[in-house]
């Protein structure tokens, strides 16, 4: 008789998530696929929600915020074109799940969260439980970026913004990629930007809905 334990069950749920939600919808980067197979997403939500962690939807994480749908995490990460040498800036740590995926794929991740409580919980899981050693955390307004650590090879904004904050464009390296949901509070277009000759060239990816970026270059509270 096979004995099943929770980690087997979550591994199987993760494999199914990757087949039906990630690969079936066209995500091709094998490094992104492997990271999504590896990172235990259920650890980033409350115990009561763990069985839903591999479902095809966002989930609440407290403070009125959400952990993004798995497919959206994969789509945004693939657009950053990470090879393993990059220094990445993430705005909106939230649960820390996207942070873990980035830490698997880049050299170093700098992540900023507005809520102290969410940042602390993410730090606990990422540093103490999972043992990542390539993540720096900051609590504050990520729309201002992280000047001391700039320039970044890739920047990801995981909250809706009316426009890409200027400090973030300034802190993006030449040739760097930025991915962000840009639009109104209620609907946005996922945008990919590449910086060339000091200028950002953007292309739309798809329609999305995120919680809002609240800050100097985002929305008002």
Give yes or no for a contact between 108 and 126, defined as CB atoms under 8 angstroms apart.
no
We find the least distance from the C-beta atom of residue 212 to ligand SAH, in angstroms, to be 7
Closest CA to 119 of 141, 102, 104: 141
184 is known as an active-site residue:
no
Catalytic hit among 68, 95, 119, 143: 68
Please identify, using beta-carbon distances, which residue of 181 and 193 lies nearer to ligand SAH.
Answer: 181
We find the least distance from the C-beta atom of residue 64 to ligand SAH, in angstroms, to be 8
Which secondary structure element, helix H or strand E, spans residue 112, and what is its range? strand 108-113
Please give the backbone phi and psi of residue 192, each rounded to the nearest 5 degrees, phi first: -110, 130
Please identify, using beta-carbon distances, which residue of 68 and 171 lies nearer to ligand SAH.
Answer: 68
Q: Is residue 147 reached through a cis peptide bond, with omega within 30 degrees of 0 on the bond before it?
A: no
We find the least distance from the C-beta atom of residue 141 to ligand SAH, in angstroms, to be 4
Cα distances (Å, whole numbers) of residue 50 to 4, 18, 54, 98: 17, 17, 8, 17
Please identify, using beta-carbon distances, which residue of 110 and 115 lies nearer to ligand SAH.
Answer: 115
User: Which spans of this chain sit near ligand SAH (rule: CB under 6 A)?
Assistant: 61, 65-68, 91-92, 94-95, 97-98, 112-115, 118, 141-143, 158-159, 211, 213-215, 218
Which of the residues are catalytic?
68
């Amino acid at each position: 008789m096979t004995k099943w334990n929770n980690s087997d069950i979550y591994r199987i749920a993760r494999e199914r998530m990757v087949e039906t939600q990630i690969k079936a919808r066209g995500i091709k980067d094998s490094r992104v696929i492997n990271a999504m197979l590896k990172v235990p997403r259920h650890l980033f939500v409350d115990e009561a929600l763990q069985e839903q962690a591999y479902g095809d939807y966002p989930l609440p994480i407290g403070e009125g915020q959400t952990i993004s749908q798995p497919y959206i995490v994969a789509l945004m990460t693939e657009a950053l074109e990470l090879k393993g040498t990059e220094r990445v800036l993430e705005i909106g740590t939230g649960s820390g799940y996207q942070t873990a995926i980035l830490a698997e794929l880049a050299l170093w991740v700098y992540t900023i969260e507005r809520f102290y409580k969410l940042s602390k919980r993410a730090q606990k899981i990422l540093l103490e439980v999972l043992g990542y050693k390539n993540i720096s955390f900051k609590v504050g307004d990520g729309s201002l970026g992280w000047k001391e650590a700039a320039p970044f090879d890739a920047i990801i904004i995981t909250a809706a913004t009316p426009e890409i904050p200027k400090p973030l464009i300034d802190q993006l390296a030449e040739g760097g990629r930025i991915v962000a949901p840009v639009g109104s509070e209620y609907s946005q277009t996922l945008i990919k930007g590449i910086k060339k000759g000091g200028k950002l060239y953007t292309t739309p990816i798809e329609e999305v809905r995120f919680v809002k970026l609240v800050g100097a270059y985002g929305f008002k509270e």
